[in-house]
Structure 1
Amino acid sequence: MVTPVTRRYTRIAALWIGLASLPIHAMELPPPAYQIAANDAGVPSTVLFAVALQESGARFHGHLIPWPWTLDIAGVPYRYATAAQACGALRIALRQWPATRLDVGLGQVNLGYQAQRYREPCELLDPYRNLAIAATILREQHNPGEDWLIAVGRYHRPAGGTVAAYYRRRVRQHLVRVLGLSLSTAMP
C-alpha cells in the first residue's frame, strides 16, 4: 500500500539518486601557507594558490602542485629537489643573466623588478617568504571593486595587453579547478 509517507520517502530517494548522478566538483582548499599569506595581505587564498599553480606548478604523482624550488632563468623553468640546489643554481644564473630575467619560487618573484622586497636572492626560495611577497604584489595590483583576475594579469604583466590576458585565462583555469567549478558555470 502506498501512503503519503511512502511517497515522500520515494521522492526524497529519487532526489538523492538524481543529485548523486550529477558530476561533483569539490573545492580544493589551498594549503595553510597560502591561507596565511593571503589572509595577511588581504587576498583570496584560492587566487594566490591558482597563481602559484600557474607560476611554479609541477606534476607529481599525477597531480599539479606548486613547486617551491622553481627558477625561471631567461624564460626557461628549472625545478630543483632542494632549496640548497636551487640557491646554488640561482647564484650561477645571477652571474650569467640580468636580475630582471630571473624569477624565483612558488610565486615566481622577479629578482630585478622586486629587488626592494628581499635582502638576499636565495631568501625567495623560502616558501613562506615567497608567498608573502607574491600575495603583497597581488594585493598591490588589485583595485577596490575589481575582479581579482584583472589583478592577476597585472601581477604577471603590469602593462597589461595580450600577455596579461593570456595569463589571466591560464590562472582562471586553475582557479576554476581549485574552486570546484566547471568552466561552463565559472566566472567569465
Structure 2
Amino acid sequence: MIKRVLLTLSLAASVCGAQAATIEDVISPTSFVLASAGTRNVATFDGKPVFYCGLKAFTTWATPLVGQSVGSNPDAGITVSVDARDVSLERLLVSKGWLQPAVLDDEAQAAITEGRGGWACASAAAPFELMHTSVDPKVLAGIALNESGLNGRAWPWTLNVAGQGLFFRTRTDAFRAIQSLISAGRSDFDVGLMQINWRYHAQRFASPWDALRPSTNIRVAEAILNENYSKTHSVAKAIAWYHSANPAPGQAYLARFARHLNQIQAGL
C-alpha cells in the first residue's frame, strides 16, 4: 500500500509538471506502464484480473487507453478522462468487469452479476462462489436460475409482482419500481437475484435498496434455506420449500432446479 501511495504522489507531481504522464502499455488489469518525461513506471492495482474471456478480450477493450493522459489524486489514485470527467482507473476496471477487487463492493457485485467484461464468460455459479457464506454455491446458482434466470444468467435487478416477472436494466430502475409498489401499498412481490418475498421477509433487509444488493440477497436466501433444512432435515425439501411447502408446486420447482444444477455441473 505504501508503494502504491508513493507511486500516486510521484505521478501527481509529474502531471502537475510540463509533461503529463500517459499510459504507454497495458500488461494486465492489474499492471499498466505509465510514461512521463522519459521515465517509465509500472502502476499496479490490488485485486485479481478477470480473465474468464481471456487476455485478448481484455486487451481489445483496453487498447483505447494506450496513449491517454492520466492524472492522480490521493482519493481516486490514478485517473483517466471518461466522457470529459476524471475517473479512477482502478474503479473503471472494476466497474467494466476486468478487475476483481479484494472487497466486493456494490459496483463489483453489479459487474459480476450483470456479466460485464470478463465476467461475461464466467460460469453461472461464479457470483455465488464469491458471495456465498453457508450454502453450496452451485445450489444457490440453481435456485437463482429458477428465480431470476434471464438468457442463462441469474439477473440481479429482477422483481416478480403477483406472478409477473420484471427485469430491469439497472439497480436504480428496480429500486424505483419497488418504491412505487410500496407507495401503492403493495407487498406481493419478490426482490432480486434470489427473489426474496417482500411481504414475508422485508424485515430481513435494511431497506429496499439493500434488498437488491446481490450479496445481501444471497445471504437472506441462505438463511431461509438453512431454516427450511432445520425444519425438514432434507436438502430436497429445503429447496422445494424455498418456493412452496405445497407438494405439487414444490416438486415442480425442485425438478426445474435439478435441471439447472445438472447444467451447472456440466459446465453448460
User: TM-score normalised to the size of structure 1?
Assistant: 0.70
The residue aligned with 1:30 is 125
| Aligned partner of 1:140 among 213, 227, 234 | 227
| Aligned partner of 1:80 among 162, 168, 189 | 168
Q: Which has a greater percent of helix?
A: 1
* Correspondence 1:105 to 2:192: yes
Per the TM alignment, residue 145 of structure 1 is displaced from its structure 2 partner at its CA by: 9.5
Q: Following the alignment from structure 2 to structure 1, what is the Cα–Cα distance between the partners of residues 242 and 184?
A: 25
Gaps of 5+ in 2: 1-122
Higher normalized contact order (CA 8 Å, seq sep 6+, divided by chain length): 1
Per the TM alignment, residue 82 of structure 1 is displaced from its structure 2 partner at its CA by: 0.5
The residue aligned with 2:204 is 117
The residue aligned with 1:96 is 184
Q: Following the alignment from structure 1 to structure 2, what is the Cα–Cα distance between the partners of residues 92 and 85?
A: 11
Tell me the alpha carbon deviations over residues 112-139 of structure 1, each in whole angstroms, 9 at most, x when there is no partner. 1112211212211111111111122112
Which one is further off, 168-177 or 89-98?
89-98
Matches within 5 A, 1:161-176: 161-176=247-262
Does structure 2 conserve the Cα–Cα contact (< 8 Å) formed by 1:149 and 1:172? no
Q: Following the alignment from structure 2 to structure 1, what is the Cα–Cα distance between the partners of residues 232 and 251?
A: 19
Q: Following the alignment from structure 1 to structure 2, what is the Cα–Cα distance between the partners of residues 152 and 146?
A: 11
The residue aligned with 1:68 is 156
Does structure 2 conserve the Cα–Cα contact (< 8 Å) formed by 1:47 and 1:148? no
User: TM-score normalised to the size of structure 2?
Assistant: 0.50
Gaps of 5+ in 1: 1-27, 182-188
Per the TM alignment, residue 37 of structure 1 is displaced from its structure 2 partner at its CA by: 4.0
Does structure 1 conserve the Cα–Cα contact (< 8 Å) formed by 2:124 and 2:153? no
Does structure 1 conserve the Cα–Cα contact (< 8 Å) formed by 2:142 and 2:264? yes
Which one is further off, 166-175 or 114-123?
114-123
The residue aligned with 1:12 is none
Task: Give the percent of matched residue pairs that are identical in Structure 1 and Structure 2.
Answer: 30
| Aligned partner of 1:153 among 229, 240, 245 | 240
| Aligned partner of 1:57 among 125, 149, 165 | 149
Q: Which has a greater percent of strand?
A: 2
Does structure 2 conserve the Cα–Cα contact (< 8 Å) formed by 1:37 and 1:135? no
Per the TM alignment, residue 72 of structure 1 is displaced from its structure 2 partner at its CA by: 0.4
Aligned-residue CA RMSD in angstroms?
2.3
Tell me the alpha carbon deviations over residues 49-71 of structure 1, each in whole angstroms, 9 at most, x when there is no partner. 00001100001xxxx00000000
Per the TM alignment, residue 140 of structure 1 is displaced from its structure 2 partner at its CA by: 1.5
1:88–1:145 CA distance, 2 compared to 1 (3 A): closer
> Counterpart of 1:106 in 2: which secondary structure?
coil
Tell me the alpha carbon deviations over residues 128-178 of structure 1, each in whole angstroms, 9 at most, x when there is no partner. 111111122112211499552321101111x23201111111111101111
Matched residue pairs, number?
Answer: 146
